[in-house]
Chain A
Amino acid sequence: MHPGGQWLRRVPRNPLKAGCVYVLSHGSNPAPRSQVDDQQLIGRIQAGDPAAERQFFETHADRIHRIVYRFVGDPEAAQDCVQETFIRAFDRLGTFRGESALGTWLGSIAVSVALNTLRGRKRDEKRHAPWEEAEAVATPSARISEPDLKTRLHAEIDQLPEGYRMVFLLHDVEGYTHEEIGTMLGVQSGTSKAQLFRARARLRDRLADFAPEVRGT
């Protein structure tokens, strides 16, 4: 819907072309994409209209890239995730029932793809762990230096359990609502709220030495 509480407004990308893009609108006249638009676009894609496929991609590519990049943190892996997300979306478009916005449905695919990438990476890391540990012991200077709040915060976000981290990034960083996050992660919105609470609590606890700054409003 509208990350950061801002509305997405549909504007022509190029007056000479049919495709449209979404822009963040701070105005008071929101014009979110309706489910009728979504269904029309899906119908055109299923009818084999290449312009509709491209429009679908152009409309959502940047937002999907933002989500997966937040999770995987690597340009090439993120681009591969976007690629895989749209391949799956095109394959499964017929299963979209319109119970959520098309963008949210696409987001759920992106989250699943990013999770698979992260899990594959963790398996690889486990295999290489002894070497990394050895390197860490061999270069202790980085551990001794006192990191600033930003560095520590990012390191602690890295350390959050997967579910907490995803909810925290989607809600506090990307601005999605708990309902949207629930749809993307396949959980109840209450679960999303609970995980966000625990993520914040853990960050506060781990960053206690920066207490006045982290305690919150």
Chain B
Amino acid sequence: MTDEREDVPLDPGVVELAKGYNTPPAADRDAIWLAIQARRQSAVDSRQSSGDRRLARGSRMPVLSTRAAAWISGIAALLVLGIGIGRMTAPTVETVATAPAVKPPSMALEVAAAQHLSQSEAYLTLFRASVRSGQVDSLPVAAARELLATNRLLLDSRVADARLRPLLLDLELVLAEITQLGTSGRQADVKLITDGLDHGDVMMRLRVAPGRRSLPNGVL
């Protein structure tokens, strides 16, 4: 109690200086909310596949980095923008006859595709590391779902040309398998996915994919 009686506030000027300590910037609420929703959805999926006895598992899932969530949403937004621009600037029926048979994809689409391939490579690298360490459960399935959605958008776009389409199709298969990983027969499913990755050289093809090489320096 002596402490309380004798306590004197610091000089207001010093308190003002103290307010400059770790001054918070504006919070990126949308990115945080997106990440929260992804984690909660992931926890729900986990509960559904694990049964009621493992209800607490969701709270132990690793934090889906806000930056990662922002990246994924950014890619999706860029992709939608690219497709939108592509549709708005698409030639009319009359001009199609004189235009080249295959119009090259817009820059926005190429950037979105390159970012998607880069994210997919990172995710699949994480997946393989999780398999090796026996921690596949800790992998955020929601991220695979987002990648799968982006992949499907890209497959429907002009960017999916003869060179990129086979890779996107293989990627779709792998991502779909990851999102559907259940608890029963899990080992066999994981082995199928890793075999698919190895036999199709998916990782190598992701690294040397045409879209990732043709972008100007600094785009990614």
Contacts and interface: CB of A to CB of B under 8 A. Distances in A.
Interface string A199-217: 0100110000000011111
Interface string B1-26: 10110111111111101111110110
A35 B114 CA distance: 50
B157 interface: no
Contacts of B12: 217
Contact of A76 (B3, B22, B65): B65
A78 interface: yes
A166 interface: no
Contacts of A76: 65-67
B28 interface: yes
A194 B11 CA distance: 19
Given A79-B31, A83-B32, A83-B35, A70 B3 contact: no
B36 interface: yes
A5 interface: no
A69 B36 contact: no
A203 B10 contact: yes
Interface in B32-57: 32-33, 35-36, 39-40
Contact of A216 (B11, B59, B64, B66): B11
Contact of B21 (A57, A90, A173, A215): A173
Q: Which of under 10, 10 to 19, 20 to 34, or 35 or more describes the interface residues of B?
A: 35 or more
A150 B39 contact: no
Nearest to B4: A193
Contacts of B29: 57-58, 61-62
A193 B3 contact: yes
Interface residues of A, number: 48
A70 B59 contact: no
B102 interface: no
A82 B32 contact: yes
Nearest to A66: B24
B85 interface: no
Nearest to B39: A87
Given A57-B36, A90-B40, A150-B17, A70 B22 contact: yes
Contact of A80 (B9, B20, B24, B63): B63
B27 A79 contact: yes
Contacts of A213: 11, 13-14
B33 A200 contact: no
A88 interface: yes
Contact of B4 (A79, A168, A190): A190
Contacts of A58: 29
Given A83-B36, A84-B63, A198 B8 contact: no
Given A58-B29, A79-B28, A200-B7, 20 more contacts: A57-B29, A61-B27, A70-B22, A71-B22, A73-B22, A78-B24, A78-B27, A83-B36, A87-B59, A91-B58, A153-B14, A154-B18, A197-B4, A197-B6, A213-B13, A214-B11, A215-B11, A216-B8, A216-B10, A217-B11
16 contacts: A65-B27, A76-B67, A79-B66, A84-B63, A87-B59, A88-B59, A90-B36, A153-B17, A157-B21, A168-B18, A193-B3, A193-B7, A197-B4, A197-B7, A203-B10, A214-B10
